Structure 1
C-alpha cells in the first residue's frame, strides 16, 4: 500500500480545523503523527485543537513542537496561552531571554499605562501592533477592545476573541458585556455577565435594565447588592428617577455627591430622567437643589422647564439671569430668542451682537449664539442676515457631530427587511390603545399630538423614549434569529408600563416619538392596539425649520447640512411609504398644509382613524394648557393657522442644495 501524502493530509486537517470540525482535524493530525511524530507544524496545530478541551495535552504538544522549532514565536505564544501560575511566569522569563514576544501582560504594560493615562488612541495602535507580533495572545485582543471602548468604537470582535482565550479573566468579560451593551445587544451582554456579582457587573447589569425599559429591575439589582461608592448611588438615583420617584432619586443623588460624584451633571441627568417619567415637580425640585450652587447652565435648564409649562415671564427672568451670570453662555441666548418675538429694541439683542464679536467663544456656545442671532434677524424681517448666521451655526454643529448617511441607509434597509419575519409572527402584546404620532422633526407632529391631547380620553406624553428601549431586545433577537412572540409581547408590556406611568394611566396614550417612523411594523406587532399617525409637510418648509434649530446631544445630525438633510428626507419618505403599503389599515396620513388650511374635516378624519369619538376641544388645542417639551413650545400655544406654510420661498436660493437633493431616488433593497 502506498504511503499517504502527508502534505495533502495536513492541508485537509487545516481545512477541517478552520471549518470548526475539531474532531475531524484531530483525527487527521493523529494519522500524520502516526507516520511521523516529529513534524512541529502538525504538533502545533494539534495543540491548538486541544487548547479548549484538554490544556494539559495541548501543553505537551506545544512543548514537543517547541523542542523542534525553538525560535518559532507562534509556538511560544500557544504554549503561553495554556499555562497558568508559576509555569507561565517561568516561560515568560525564558521568552524574554530568547527575545520572543509572547503578548503577555508584561509585554502589554505600556498599553495598560497608555489607557490609564487617557491615551486610548495610542493604546489602540500599540495593541494592534502587539497583536500582529502575538496573534494568538490574550492581552493584545483584550487591550484592543478596552481601547476601542474608551474611543467609543466597535469593540465586540476583539473582546470576544479575548474572552475565548481566557474565559476566567473577569475584566475581559465585563468589557465584553459593556461592548455588547454599546452595540445594542442586551441579551448577549446579560449572558456574558452571567452570575458575576462584582460591583462593576452590578453597575453594568443595572444600566442594561434601564436601557431596555426595566428600571424596577435596576433598582432591585442595586439595592440587593448595595455599592458603597459614588457610581452605585448615581446609578440608583437615575433608576429611581426613571420610575418617577423624585424624593428617593434626589436622596440617592445626594448620597452619590457625598461620595464624590460631580454635582451638576448628576443632578441634571436625574432631572431629565424624572421629566421622562412625567414627574415634572420632581425634576424641578432636583434642579432647584442644584441651583444652591447656581451656574448659567442650571439657570437655563430651570428656565426651559418654565417655557415647557408656558410660564414665559419666569422663563425670561431666569434666562436674563443666566446671561448676566455668564455673558458667553450661548444656550441661554438661544432659549431666550426662541421664547419670544424679537424686536429691534430688545435689550438682549445688543448683548448678543457684542458677544458674537468676541474671539474667545467656545464652539458649542458660538453655534448656539448664531442660531439665536438667526432667529432674531428673522423676527425683525432682516431675512438676508438669517442664513449667514445659520450657515456658521450648522457648520459648527456638523463638525462636532459628523453625520453618516450610509449608516442610516443600512439601518433603514435592515428594519424594513425585518418585516418579512415580523409579518408572520403572532401579535400577542397588550391591546391597549396607543397613538403614535410620527414624521420628520419640525413637520407638525407637535400640533397633531396637541390636537389629540385636547381630547378628554387621551393622555399625551410628548416625545417618549420608551418604544426604542423596549424594542432593543426584539431587534437583537431578529438579527440573531432568536425572535419569539413572547419577546414582542414583553416589549409591548414594557413600553406600556413606562408610557402609562408618564401619562398618569390615561385610557388612550399619545406618543410623539419621532423615531417610530422607522419601526412601525415592529411596534405594530408588539402593540396590536396601536395606531400610527404620519404627518407630512412640504419638505422645503421642514428642511428650513430643521436648519434653523439646534438639537440636543447630536440628535438629528443630518439637519446640519442641507444636502445630507435632503438625502435623509428622501430616506424617511421611502421608509414611511414602505410601512404605509405594509400596514394600510394601521397608518393614517395627515397633510400639514391641508390641516392648517381647513382644520375641522381633517381633525374629524384623524379622530375617526384612531377610534376616538368627536370632541369640539380638538379644534382649539392651544387651550389645553399642557406642558410642551419640544422646540414647538411657543407655536403650539397659538391657534391652528397657516403662518408656517411656504416660508421656504423667502430663502429659496439658499435652500437650493436641499431642494436639488430632494429629487434623488432612494432604494431600500438590501
Structure 2
C-alpha cells in the first residue's frame, strides 16, 4: 500500500538523521531512560500507596476490633486498696492493668470542666466542635493509652483512683466497660494519708476534720456514679473483705468481670517484677510487693482525735451508710481466712527479706497524687 511505503521511507530517513547526529541520538536515549525511570517510580509509588492503604485499613480494622475488648476501670479514694486490687488482677493471665496512667483522669476532668462551663461549651459548639466529636476523640485517646500501656492484653484495665468520678460518662463511650469501686474505712484512709504524708488536693496533713469532709464528698460522688451505671457494671469492693477473705472476695470479683478463676490471683507477690510491674513513684508499691496481709487493716485504731470521733457521723455520714461501725473504738471487720493467717506468719518469719523488698520499692519522688483542684471540689 502506498501509505505504508511512505511511512517506512520517513522512518528510514529519521533513523539516518539520528545516526548522523550524535547529539540528537544522545538526547533521545536520555529521554528514553528518563521515561523508563519515571514509569518505574510511578509504578512503585502506586504500589507503595496501595500497600500503605492496606496497612492503614488493617490497622483501622485492628483498632476497631480492639474496641470490643472488655475494659476494667479501678477507682476509689486514694489509700483504699486500688493498687492491691490492680496487682491482683494483673496476676490473671488475661488482664493487664499496670501502673497509674495519670493522664486518663486528667483528660476526663478536662472534658467535665468544658461541659460544666456553659460559656466554654458554647464556644466549642460555635467553633464547630460537636459533643460527639469530643466524645469520639476522648474515646480514641483513652483507648490508645490503654492499648499501648497494657501491651494489647485480652482484657484492658486502668487503675487511676479518681477515674470512678466519671463512671457514667465512661460507660456512655465504652459500652463494654466495668468498674470496681474500692471502699475502705475512712478512718484508715485518713490515717494512712496523714502518716505516710500522701499529698492529695483537698486533704490537709494536719486537719482531720477537713479530711473526713473531703473523703465523704469524694465517696458520695463515686457511689452516685456507681449507682448510675448499675450493679451489672459497677461493683463495690470493700478493702477489709479483700484482705480478710481474699479467695471468696476475688471469686466474686472475677465472676462479675466474666473471668475464669486462676490460683495465681491469690499470690500476686510471686509475679512482681515479672508480669506485674510496680512504679517507684506510687506510694503503695512498697506495700503490695508483699502477699495479701492484715498489716494495714487496723493501724488507725487509737490515732483518731477524740473530738473527731465524737463528730464522725456528722463529718462523714457516708461511713455509716456504707456499713461501718462508727461507735466502737475497735470495730470488727470480720475473721481472716487461713491463707491470710499463713501470709502473716510468712511476713513475721521472714521479716528481713520482706523489709528489704519494701525498701527496694520505696517511693523515690515527692509523694504528690494531686490531679486538679476540682477533683475534690466538683
TM over 0.5: yes
Equivalent of 1:468, from 100, 105, 111? 105
What is the 5 A alignment of 1:166-565? Answer: 430-471=67-108, 472-473=110-111, 475-477=113-115, 479=117, 480=121, 482=125, 484-551=131-198, 555-560=200-205, 561-565=207-211
Shift, 1:477, TM fit = 4.5
Change (3 A) 1:541 1:462: same
* Cross-structure match for 2:213: 567
Aligned residue pairs total 238
* 2:275 paired with 1:628: no
Give the TM-score normalised by the residue count of structure 2: 0.58
Distance (Å, rounded) in 2 between the aligned partners of 1:565 and 1:517 = 19
Deviations 1:141-173 (A, max 9, x none): xxxxxxxxxxxxxxxxxxxxxxxxxxxxxxxxx
Change (3 A) 1:656 1:493: farther
CA contact (8 A) 2:98 2:278 kept: no
Deviations 1:565-599 (A, max 9, x none): 10011102211221122112211111111121111
Give the TM-score normalised by the residue count of structure 1: 0.33
CA contact (8 A) 1:463 1:512 kept: yes
* Cross-structure match for 1:413: none
| Corresponding residue SS for 1:461 | coil
Shift, 1:441, TM fit = 0.9
CA contact (8 A) 2:75 2:161 kept: yes
| Corresponding residue SS for 1:441 | coil
Distance (Å, rounded) in 1 between the aligned partners of 2:78 and 2:112 = 25
Change (3 A) 1:646 1:583: same
Shift, 1:490, TM fit = 2.1
What is the 5 A alignment of 1:96-135? Answer: none
Equivalent of 2:225, from 562, 579, 586? 579
* 2:240 paired with 1:590: no
CA contact (8 A) 2:76 2:219 kept: no
Structure 2: segments with no counterpart, 5+ residues? 1-65, 319-377
Distance (Å, rounded) in 2 between the aligned partners of 1:444 and 1:659 = 26
Distance (Å, rounded) in 2 between the aligned partners of 1:662 and 1:559 = 20
| Corresponding residue SS for 2:181 | strand
Deviations 1:197-223 (A, max 9, x none): xxxxxxxxxxxxxxxxxxxxxxxxxxx
CA contact (8 A) 1:539 1:569 kept: yes
Distance (Å, rounded) in 2 between the aligned partners of 1:445 and 1:434 = 16
Distance (Å, rounded) in 2 between the aligned partners of 1:602 and 1:659 = 32
Deviations 1:592-635 (A, max 9, x none): 11121111111011111122221111011111112222211121
| Corresponding residue SS for 2:178 | strand
Equivalent of 2:259, from 595, 608, 612? 612
* 2:323 paired with 1:660: no
Higher relative contact order (CA 8 A, sep 6+): 2
CA contact (8 A) 1:436 1:512 kept: yes
CA contact (8 A) 1:436 1:516 kept: yes
Distance (Å, rounded) in 1 between the aligned partners of 2:307 and 2:262 = 42
Distance (Å, rounded) in 2 between the aligned partners of 1:542 and 1:655 = 17
Distance (Å, rounded) in 1 between the aligned partners of 2:310 and 2:100 = 28
Deviations 1:431-451 (A, max 9, x none): 432211111111111111100
Q: CA RMSD in A?
A: 2.6
Distance (Å, rounded) in 1 between the aligned partners of 2:308 and 2:215 = 13
Bigger Rg over Cα: 2
CA contact (8 A) 1:443 1:592 kept: yes
* 2:254 paired with 1:602: no
Distance (Å, rounded) in 2 between the aligned partners of 1:449 and 1:456 = 13
CA contact (8 A) 2:212 2:316 kept: no
CA contact (8 A) 2:167 2:179 kept: yes
Shift, 1:665, TM fit = 6.7
CA contact (8 A) 1:466 1:499 kept: no
Change (3 A) 1:657 1:435: same
| Corresponding residue SS for 2:191 | helix
Shift, 1:501, TM fit = 1.4
| Structure 1 moving runs of 4+ over 4 Å | none
CA contact (8 A) 1:461 1:499 kept: no
| Corresponding residue SS for 2:293 | coil
Distance (Å, rounded) in 2 between the aligned partners of 1:533 and 1:655 = 33
| Corresponding residue SS for 1:634 | helix
Shift, 1:563, TM fit = 1.2
Change (3 A) 1:646 1:656: farther
Distance (Å, rounded) in 1 between the aligned partners of 2:286 and 2:86 = 15
Shift, 1:463, TM fit = 1.4
Distance (Å, rounded) in 2 between the aligned partners of 1:658 and 1:513 = 30
Distance (Å, rounded) in 2 between the aligned partners of 1:513 and 1:659 = 33
Change (3 A) 1:445 1:655: farther
CA contact (8 A) 1:433 1:530 kept: yes
Deviations 1:215-255 (A, max 9, x none): xxxxxxxxxxxxxxxxxxxxxxxxxxxxxxxxxxxxxxxxx
| Corresponding residue SS for 2:226 | helix
| Corresponding residue SS for 2:278 | coil
Distance (Å, rounded) in 2 between the aligned partners of 1:662 and 1:467 = 33
